[in-house]
Amino acid sequence: MPTAKTNEIETYYERHGNGQPLVCIHGAWTDHRLWNPQLDALGEDHEVIVYDVRGHGNTGPSAERRYTMELFAADLKALVEELGLEHPIICGLSLGGMIAQTYATRYGDSLRGLVLADTAVSTTLTFRDKLTRLAFPGWAMRGTVRLLGPPKYVDVAYWLAKVTRGEDWFGRDENVRAYVRETMSSFDSTEFNKIFRAIYDFRQVALASIQVPTLVLNGEHESRSVFTHTTHMERVVPDVRTAVIPDAGHTSNMENPAAFNHEVLDFLSMITE
């Protein structure tokens, strides 16, 4: 099982294809398999590197008591250096997009491009974001996870997402839903909550300092608040383009891989010519 020493942990990774390196960061409580629908298409002209973020998958838990986006980004920086990747393109979905934003603002000199999918710039950007935090305070949500355990909490989260974000937010593909539910339910309460807290505490980074071409993608059925975040990025990020993936929700890369891959490949062809 290939691993690389990243700070004090061993990070699991895989390399597919050849060419300009493209590092893909999965969403919260999933793993590197999230990117399986991209490996063949993007690996024809690029080396696609997928890995399991600290606390997830084959990388597994760590002794760190608290996770932050800065810690996740530092892990990614260490992985890039350990693998000898020169000017990689970073692609992140959801939590992965938050890590990618943090990486781009801290280590932007080493970047070639940035792809952000179905992600937010902060958990406090809009009035709706702030209202959600008031209705569902972090301490209460973490307590619920400890009380119910991740499997039962995931059932509640799916129901809540259906009520607040719509039936199609988790996608219409039952195989995708099953994969996400399986991975989310596999965590213990401690690791689940450390990841949850990193997301809950995420604040807007210096987006205006991102100096590389940036692509922002959202599934057609993504939540309205995330589209508001995308509009904010359009205003702030200097070199940005956006696209919508039809017939897809939050995991747009898995729900409509053909459309997702097309948009990414078109973007990559522009920035690697």
**Residue range 85-100, pLDDT digits in tens:** 999 999 999 999 999 9
Edge-first strand listing for the sheet containing 9-16? 3-6, 9-16, 46-51, 20-25, 89-93, 113-117, 214-219, 240-245
- Give residue 123's pLDDT: 85
Averaged pLDDT score across all residues of the chain:
93
Report the alpha-carbon distance of residue 202 to residue 95 in Å, rounded.
10
Q: Could you list the residue range(s) of the whole structural domain that residue 263 is in? A: 3-271
Give per-residue pLDDT as tens, 47-78: 999 999 999 999 999 999 999 999 999 999 99
Q: What is the CATH number of the domain that holds 86?
A: 3.40.50.1820
- Give residue 43's pLDDT: 94
- Give residue 87's pLDDT: 95
Lowest mean pLDDT among 42-46, 88-92, 125-129, 244-248: 125-129
3-state class of 221 per DSSP? coil
- Give residue 165's pLDDT: 78
- The CA-atom distances, in angstroms, between 71 and each of 76, 111, 135, 159, 217 are 9, 18, 28, 31, 25
Look up residue 53 and give its two tokens: 């973020």
- Give residue 35's pLDDT: 98
- Give residue 171's pLDDT: 78
- As a whole number, mean pLDDT of residues 243-247 equals 97
3-state class of 52 per DSSP? coil
- Give residue 145's pLDDT: 84
Q: What domain count does the chain have? A: 1
Report the alpha-carbon distance of residue 37 to residue 72 in Å, rounded.
24
- Give residue 78's pLDDT: 98
Give per-residue pLDDT as tens, 167-214: 777 777 889 999 999 999 999 999 999 999 999 999 999 999 999 999
Report the alpha-carbon distance of residue 27 to residue 183 in Å, rounded.
11
HSE (CB half, 13 Å, CA atoms) of 136? 17
Give per-residue pLDDT as tens, 140-152: 788 888 898 898 9
Instruction: For residue 46, list its beta bridge partners.
Output: 20
- Give residue 143's pLDDT: 87
Percent of the residues in the chain that have a pLDDT greater than 90, as a whole number? 77
Report the first-to-last Cα separation within the chain, whole angstroms.
34
- Give residue 157's pLDDT: 81
3-state class of 91 per DSSP? strand
pLDDT bin (cut points 50, 70, 90) of residue 135 is low
What is this structure's pTM?
0.95
